[in-house]
């Protein structure tokens, strides 16, 4: 799952929402304890884009819940990200910015660099096991077997790709909050997480049994939002335009045409063209036999579709983890001026630097957070981006795969 790996790097590369008071019907969670719905206090997060409400799994995730409540109410000390000095009796989350991620929204950091947490990592709480099987789940971010001390995420859709990660689910947000999360995620991702006006948490309130919901907190002044949005430095060097042939992907939902960067990404482009017409040999990951003269992409489905992010294809097994072995890998080709600075970039996915093979994706928005990590091989035209957006929004399952397959019927190469 190359995009999830990147998201954890960049939004770490990547939330908040909370529930109604007292009895709120929430469907039982698969793998959760027999107690069913969360019965802990409410975390009410007032943001500059609306109120989020989540009930916490205080019984099932006691340490994680207590840590979150302590930071929210200012009863837990935390570290200043600039000075590393301990901060006492101050509310951590109030005034912090939110970020859009492919699965929803993320928050809980006061420093852009490395998305530093408030303090040391938490010990994962895994019993009873919980799955990311529904929208509105509130979780502490997990990566490399550790759970963040403050950074959290809220899902805008069921996302099984997060199952097995170190992230610890500790809350469930209501349906109204999920809609707010979806709106925030869309607004932020559409602006590459560089909004002119940040979306921030005004206040996090913890509502216990018998207590009334607080009044909606006023918006925090923009100048006080942390971390400060840092925009990429402007460059006077013109971005290159593609000068190679055009790849036309005839799909079951329309025609996608992308002109190739043969000059800037010669290895990536040649690999793609060789797979398209069958002149490049590859190893079938199912039979382990070497294939030659077989067109690779024809008939292949889009195995991952994520609105405001990408559509992806090119995994022969249909399991887009980025780790598939088809007999070769090739290095990243990064041209400093060739960036993810516009919609419709056609690029190779990977599960780490210089581990490209056959997986390709098309972006929906400018995504500077991807710069330097992926080989761009083409630019799709405006009509094709519109088709891509439609594909990205087809009904999908928890694994982000379309419920009704969307296929590449054939790829044709048109010389210029």
Flag whether pLDDT at 54 surpasses 80: yes
> Which is more confident, 104 or 10?
104
Please state which CATH number belongs to domain 246-414. Answer: 2.40.100.10
Position 23 scores a pLDDT of 35
The whole-number pLDDT of residue 317 equals 85
pLDDT value at position 279?
A: 97
Is residue 214 scored above 80 in pLDDT?
Answer: yes
State the average pLDDT over residues 309-327. Answer: 83
Give 290's pLDDT tier (boundaries 50, 70, 90).
very high
Which of 151-165, 312-326, 340-354 comes out lowest in average pLDDT?
312-326
pLDDT interval class at 244 (50, 70, 90): very high
Report which secondary-structure segment, H or E, holds 306: strand 304-306
CA distances from 357 to 289, 299, 382 (A): 17, 18, 27
pLDDT at 14: 36
**149-172 pLDDT per residue, tens:** 999 999 999 999 999 888 999 999
pLDDT in tens, 95-144: 999 999 999 999 999 997 667 889 999 999 999 999 999 999 999 999 88
Phi first, then psi: give them for residue 49, nearest 5 degrees. -120, 15
pLDDT of 27 over the 80 cut: no
- Identify the pLDDT of residue 30: 34
Lowest mean pLDDT of 49-63, 204-218, 235-249, name the range.
235-249
Please tell me the distance from the alpha carbon of residue 389 to that of residue 384, in angstroms, as a whole number: 9
Is the pLDDT assigned to residue 6 strictly greater than 90? Answer: no
**Mean pLDDT of the 390-409 span:** 97
pLDDT band at 236 (very low <50, low <70, confident <90, very high): confident
CA distance 210 to 22: 7
Geometric angle at alpha carbon 229, from 225 and 230, rounded to 5°: 145
Q: Which of 11-25, 116-130, 343-357, 361-375 has the lowest mean pLDDT?
A: 11-25
- Percentage of residues in the chain with pLDDT exceeding 70? 89
Burial of 351 (0-12, 13-18, 19+ CB in 10 A): middle
Q: Does 385 score more than 70 pLDDT?
A: yes
Residue 17 is predicted with a pLDDT of: 35
Percent above pLDDT 90 for the chain: 80
22 pLDDT higher than 70: no
Helix (H) or strand (E) holding 273: helix 266-277
Give the domain 2-224 fold: Cyclophilin (2.40.100)
Higher pLDDT, 162 or 236: 162
Residue 210: predicted pLDDT: 96
Distance (Å, whole) CA 406 – CA 268: 24
Is the pLDDT at 31 greater than 60? The verdict is no
Task: Give rounded-to-5 percent helix, strand, coil for the chain.
Answer: 15, 25, 55
Q: What is the mean pLDDT of residues 56-68?
A: 97
Query: pLDDT higher for 375 or 9?
Result: 375
Answer whether 2-224 and 246-414 agree in fold: yes
Contacts of 54 (CB under 8 A, 6+ apart): 17, 18, 19, 42, 43, 45, 136, 138, 154, 171, 172, 173, 174, 177
Residue 15 has what pLDDT? 32
Taking residues 19-30, what's their average pLDDT? 34
| Domain ranges within the chain, ordered by starting residue | 2-224, 246-414
Q: pTM to 2 decimals?
A: 0.89
> 144 or 73: which carries more pLDDT confidence?
73
* Cα–Cα dist 358/317, whole Å: 11
Q: For tokens 């891509």, name the residue.
A: 388
């Amino acid at each position: 799952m190359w995009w999830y790996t990147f998201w954890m790097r960049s939004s770490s590369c990547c939330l908040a929402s909370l529930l109604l008071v007292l009895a709120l019907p929430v469907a039982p969670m698969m793998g959760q304890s027999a107690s069913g719905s969360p019965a802990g206090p409410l975390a009410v997060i007032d943001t500059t884009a609306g109120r989020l409400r989540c009930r916490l799994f205080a019984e099932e995730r006691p340490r994680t819940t207590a840590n979150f409540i302590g930071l929210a109410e200012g009863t837990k000390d935390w570290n200043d990200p600039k000075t590393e000095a301990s901060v006492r009796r101050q509310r951590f989350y109030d005034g912090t910015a939110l970020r859009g991620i492919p699965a929803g929204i993320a928050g809980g950091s006061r420093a852009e660099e490395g998305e530093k947490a408030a303090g040391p990592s938490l010990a994962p709480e895994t019993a009873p096991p919980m799955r990311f099987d529904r929208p509105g789940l509130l979780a502490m971010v997990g990566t490399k077997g550790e759970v963040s001390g403050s950074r959290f995420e809220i899902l805008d859709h069921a996302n099984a790709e997060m199952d097995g990660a170190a992230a610890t689910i500790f809350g469930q947000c209501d349906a109204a909050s999920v809609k707010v999360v979806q709106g925030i995620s869309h607004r932020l991702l559409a602006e590459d997480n560089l909004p002119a006006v940040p979306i921030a948490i005004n206040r996090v309130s913890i509502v216990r049994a018998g207590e009334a919901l607080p009044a909606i907190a006023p918006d925090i002044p923009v100048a006080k939002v942390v971390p400060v949005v840092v925009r990429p430095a402007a460059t006077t060097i013109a971005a290159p335009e593609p000068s190679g042939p055009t790849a036309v992907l005839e799909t079951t939902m329309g025609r996608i045409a992308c002109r190739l960067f043969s000059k800037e990404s010669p290895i990536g482009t040649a690999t793609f063209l060789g797979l398209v017409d069958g002149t490049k040999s590859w190893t079938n990951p199912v039979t382990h036999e070497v294939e030659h003269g077989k067109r690779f992409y024809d008939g292949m489905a889009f195995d991952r579709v994520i609105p405001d992010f990408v559509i992806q294809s090119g995994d022969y097994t249909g399991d887009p983890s980025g780790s598939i072995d088809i007999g070769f890998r090739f290095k990243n080709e990064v041209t400093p001026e060739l960036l993810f600075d516009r919609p419709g970039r056609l690029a190779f996915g990977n599960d780490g630097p210089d581990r490209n093979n056959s997986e390709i994706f098309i972006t929906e928005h400018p995504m500077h957070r991807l710069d330097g990590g992926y080989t761009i091989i083409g630019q799709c035209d405006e009509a094709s981006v519109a088709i891509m957006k439609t594909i990205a929004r087809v009904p999908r399952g928890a694994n982000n795969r379309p419920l009704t397959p969307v296929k590449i019927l054939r790829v044709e190469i048109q010389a210029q």
